[in-house]
Amino acid sequence: MDYYTHAIAIQEIQVAGWILSISAIAAVFAIMPAIATGITQGLATARAAEAVGRQPEAGKEVLSTLIVGLALTETSGIYGLLVSLLLLFVNPLFGMFTTFVG
């Protein structure tokens, strides 16, 4: 293996390492909606409990609105988890790199 081929192989390894580390950082940022989902669901449940405590006759309406709101809030956490798992295990950026380099 001559010097030029060896230098290209080292450069490809370094670029692959950068792509994997950037993917890991992006996965951390992608999972952040799951943290926010837990906080907002706790706040929504607390507000619903307060509303039922103030007006017990409106409990069914509050419960149905709460369930729809919690379902919509949960989807952002699921999407964040899905994106972070894709970045960690499937890693589409690495596939783009290999097709670009050849």
In the chain, the domains with their CATH numbers are 3-101 (1.20.20.10)
For position 33, what pLDDT does the model report? Answer: 84
In the numeric block, the tokens 């798992």 are attached to 85
Range 16-22 average pLDDT: 78
Backbone CA torsion sign across 56, 59, 65, 66: positive
Lowest mean pLDDT among 12-21, 52-61, 80-89: 12-21
Question: Whole-angstrom Cα distance, residue 64 to residue 46?
Answer: 15
For position 8, what pLDDT does the model report? Answer: 63
Range 65-77 average pLDDT: 91
pTM of the entire predicted model: 0.66
Decide if pLDDT at 56 tops 70: yes
Question: Whole-angstrom Cα distance, residue 82 to residue 42?
Answer: 22
Please report which confidence band the pLDDT of residue 61 belongs to, taking 50, 70 and 90 as the band edges.
Answer: very high
Lowest mean pLDDT among 13-17, 36-40, 76-80, 83-87: 13-17
Question: Whole-angstrom Cα distance, residue 8 to residue 85?
Answer: 30
Assess contact for 19 and 93: CB atoms under 8 A. yes
